[in-house]
Copies of this chain bind each other. A is one copy, B any other.
Amino acid sequence: MTDLDPEASLHGRLRASILGLDLAPGQRLSERGLEPELGASRTPIRAALMRLESEGLVRRDGRGWLVAPIDLDEIAQIAEFRELVETGAVRLALPRARREDLLALADLADSADETGTPEHSLHTGTSFHLELAHLAENAELFAALQGILTRLFRTRWLEVQSTESRERVRREHSAIAAALLAGDADAAERALLEHLRGTHDRLALALGSRRREFAARGIPIDGAGLASR
């Protein structure tokens, strides 16, 4: 998100490896071990790790680093915080956004074609939420949502695996945009919450029940995961 070409910087490459699950959640990383793979020396690798740490994608583990584990309890907390941030975005955006901005947002929501790839759907969905936050014209809120979406990225791909869920997301995004266009803040907030909660509940359910399957693929999933509210 910072670099146009993810291959450009060490940080971008490591980030892509983590978000793409090429580096398994919970896996330990060593600065020297990454040297040959990244073709760089420890100094820039350390810088990249520190930056990824501040993004929540990597953690310090006593002596050593580890790819941020996927923890259902943590995801539930992030999702809860996200509700706060995004409903705030809706309330702030409505009086501030120009009609043409809202129309563009609606176009963006509709542009998520269910025939597209999961990656495309994920990207469009991310853009929709970020664009909505952008309309709130508050840089802090925008940055907060950006961080949230980054940290949820590795699990969000699950929700766009089936064409049905992609279509459902598209429909819910459109409903949010439509309520905003109608100037109905309450309806927009309701539609948003329905979207976020439904998405999160399905996600938590899928992650929790398929824990063994993921573990077999080298992706441990921590936390209790009784995540519905």
Is there contact, CB below 8 Å, between B84 and A141? yes
Partner of A81, one of B54, B80, B140, B148: B140
Is there contact, CB below 8 Å, between A138 and B50? no
User: Is A1 in contact with chain B by the CB < 8 A criterion?
Assistant: no
Q: Tell me, in angstroms, the Cα distance from A80 to B91 when the chains sit together.
A: 12
Chain B: which residue is nearest A79 at the CB level?
Answer: B140
Closest Cβ–Cβ distance, residue A13 to chain B (whole Å): 18
Closest Cβ–Cβ distance, residue A75 to chain B (whole Å): 10
- Chain A residues touching B, range: 20 to 34
Is there contact, CB below 8 Å, between A140 and B50? no
User: Is A139 in contact with chain B by the CB < 8 A criterion?
Assistant: yes
Q: List 16 A-B contacts (CB under 8 A).
A: A43-B43, A46-B47, A47-B50, A50-B50, A50-B51, A54-B54, A74-B139, A77-B140, A78-B140, A80-B92, A80-B138, A80-B141, A81-B88, A84-B88, A88-B88, A144-B144
Extra contacts, 7 of them, besides A78-B140, A88-B88 (Cβ < 8 A), are A50-B51, A51-B54, A80-B140, A80-B141, A81-B141, A84-B88, A140-B148
